[in-house]
Amino acid sequence: MSFLNKLRTKIFQKPAQPIMPTQLYTYKTRFAMLGPTGSGKTTVSAMLVLAAQVLSSDMPTFRCRVLEGTSSILDAVSHLRQGHFPPKTTAHMRYAAEAGLLMRQKTSFGERKIQVPIVDIAGEDIDILVAQYSRTAQNIAPVAYSLAQNLVNYVRECDGYILCVDSSRALGIKGYSMPSDEVQEDPDVYLTRVLNSIFTYKEQSHGKPIKGIAVVITKWDTIESYAPNWGMDIYDPTGRGLDEFMHTCFPQTSMTLKDHGFGFGANIRVFPSYIHVERNSDGTPKTWKDGTPRIIIKHRRIPDCDLQSYVDLIDFLLGFAT
């Protein structure tokens, strides 16, 4: 069954009513997107919008509006459709608090509405969250620090989080393919410090509780051919494969989440993500003139990717609709 047919079984086929401008900011659930520099946050944001575009074209009951703000997210989606990876998020930029997606869906159980102002934050700006640990954050210029601090305050008030985890960087941590003899920056430690900052802030300020956390494992194609041999089969219907990845490669993050009452499969879901690229006969990626990999484009100008994961991610987010 295709991913669209799979979702159709959940949705009542009566057309939804148009979204009126006065309803735009009535229903709010904020999900901030977090992850170290280079973890693929911009690509994940673009893939989420791409999945929404496909659902909007094929599902009469699904509606979505993109609130671009200062994010240039539509340019990122256009990059993907043309076979290019989008450029990384620029650090220390002003942000639009309401940028993101406004989704609405009619089901057999009623109507679900959710506004997801997804804040795609540059890894350099996230350093402010871990300023007490990061020398990089302490060296940021005052004006840039002020802009980033405003962004951090916004992030701390969010209702949920999308954590981007780079599977290719986890290989070295697990010990299968260490890139060098030097000790590498551990994304597990980085994410743990970010989460601790958020949890501490919410506890001390009696802030809004966190409704849910989505973990997107990016660049899964780098390990998908041999991950099953490590007990990390992403197609395992029990979910043990994805859980094994998190518990093995991100043990401190997993322990921190569990300590704060978050359990995998309940209020935490893990979503694998990959985008296949063209390859030469020796297996190396084919590249554009700028040296970036060439994405394989399939029908309807859609990249060769795990779009089903993003459909499932949208369904997960809609589960927190107000």
d(CA 316, CA 320): 7
Task: Give the SS3 label for residue 216.
Answer: strand
Tell me the CATH number at 141.
3.40.50
pTM score: 0.79
Mention every residue, 6+ apart, whose C-beta is less than 8 A from residue 129: 152, 155, 193, 194, 197, 198
Residue 275 — very low, low, confident or very high, per pLDDT cuts 50/70/90?
very high
Model pLDDT, residue 247: 85
SS3 250: coil
CA dihedral sign, ordered 116, 48, 293, 270: positive
Phi, psi of 149 (to 5 degrees): -65, -40
Tell me which residue range forms the domain holding 127.
3-318
CB neighbour class for 95 (10 Å; exposed up to 12, middle 13-18, buried from 19) = buried
Q: What pLDDT does residue 132 have?
A: 47
Helix, strand or coil for residue 49? helix
Q: Domain tally for the chain?
A: 1
pLDDT in tens, 168-206: 776 554 444 444 444 456 788 888 888 888 888 888 888
Contact partners, residue 203, CB within 8 Å, separation at least 6 = none
Task: Say how many Å lie between the first and final Cα of the chain, rounded.
Answer: 30
Element (H or E) spanning 9, and its range?
A: none
88-114 pLDDT, tens digit per residue, is: 765 545 555 556 788 888 877 777 777
